[in-house]
Amino acid sequence: MGAIIKRELYSYFCSPIAYVVMAIFMFFSGLFFTVVCLVNDTSNLTYVFTNMFLITILLTPIMCMKLLSDEKRLKTDQALLTSPVSIFGIVMGKFFSACILNLVCMSIYLIFGFVLSFFVTPNWSVILCNFLGLFILSCTMIAINLFLSSLTESQMIAAITGFATGLFIYLIDNVAKAIPVAFISNIFQKLSFLSHYQDFTVGMLTLANVVFFLSVIALFIFLTIRVIEKKRWS
């Protein structure tokens, strides 16, 4: 697993992908921080993190599109699957490498906290909760996009389905409202990433939300492993 994380990080940082993702992430983070906090004279980061929901959803497909699809296209999966590493190890290696890239992107929030500390004593526990919320949301999106990447040989298709899935997740609250049947509408509302995420942005760390995101991650990691295993048997 360690070898795979190392290789993926090498591949991220030796190609433009990591830099493009970091640039977009940091640009919007900086923009929201400036507009929300500096212009309005507040140390409340809630709106910055709320806005980052959409950016994260749209950025993760770019981070994840080639993780597994390229292996299939270049036939390098043969090297991975014939080496003494379990499929779980391979998938987790890919997953963690994207999570690490995401952490690098998010490191910019340390600077925001540092800047704020010049004006007020920042409420570190709230910022930490915001940070954790955004990180766990990103990890969830990474797991979903990793799964999509395992389904195809084409990076493009992986990215496009990733965007579509992301947009659906973004719009799921509106969909829920539009459904007249209360029972189905309720299910959609329960699945809303945004409502689970919003608790984090106001500094509320609840077990239910953490479990929700962790179970989505586990589900999609499991599905990804099954997709790779299925290829062996079909």
Partner 1 sequence: MIEVKNITKCYGQHKAVDNVSFTVESGEILGFLGPNGAGKSTTMNIITGYLSSSSGTVTVDGCEILDDPKGVKSKIGYLPEIPPLYLDMTVQKYLEFMFDLKKVKLDKEEHIEEVCRLVKISSVTHRLIKNLSKGYKQRVGLAQALLGNPPVLILDEPTVGLDPKQIIEIRNLVKSLGKKHTVILSSHILSEVQAICDRVVIISNGHVVADETTDGLSKKLTKSNRLLVEAEGNKSKIIDVISSVPDVKSVKTESVLSDDVYEFSVEVKEDADIRKKLFFAFAQANIPILGLRSDNITLEEAFLKLTSDTRISSRKAGE
Residues that bind partner 1 (CB under 8 A): 2-4, 6-7, 10-11, 14-15, 74-86, 232-234
11 vs 42, which CB is nearer to partner 1? Answer: 11
Q: Least distance (Å) from partner 1 to the CB of residue 185?
A: 42
Minimum distance from residue 206 beta carbon to partner 1 (Å): 40
User: Are 196 and 209 a contacting pair, CB within 8 Å?
Assistant: yes
Give the separation between CA 20 and CA 47, rounded to whole angstroms. 24
SS3 179: coil
Residue 46's contacts (CB-CB under 8 Å, 6 or more residues apart) are: 130, 201, 202, 203
Whichever of 7 and 47 has its CB closer to partner 1, that residue is 7
Smallest distance from partner 1 to CB 67, Å: 13
In whole angstroms, the minimum distance from the beta carbon of 8 to partner 1 comes to 10
Q: How far is the CB of 100 from partner 1 (least distance, A)?
A: 16
Question: Is-contact 53 37, C-beta < 8 A?
Answer: no
CA-CA-CA-CA dihedral for 176, 178, 183, 184, to nearest 10? -60
Minimum distance, C-beta of residue 17 to partner 1, in the bound complex (Å):
10
Closest to 74 measured CA to CA, from 142, 143, 154: 154
By beta-carbon proximity to partner 1, the closer residue of 34 and 86 is 86
Residue (83 or 215) nearer to partner 1, CB: 83
**Beta-carbon-side half-sphere exposure of residue 62 (alpha carbons within 13 Å):** 19
Q: Show the DSSP H helices in the chain as ranges.
A: 2-13, 16-32, 46-64, 69-73, 77-81, 87-106, 108-116, 124-151, 155-178, 182-191, 193-201, 207-233
**CA 143, CA 225: separation in Å to the nearest integer?**
11
| Closest distance to partner 1 from the beta carbon of 97 (Å) | 13
- The CA distance from 99 to 197, in Å, is 18
Q: Which residue has the tokens 């390098």?
A: 76
Q: Is 68 or 141 the residue whose CB approaches partner 1 more closely?
A: 68
Nearer to partner 1, 6 or 190 (CB): 6
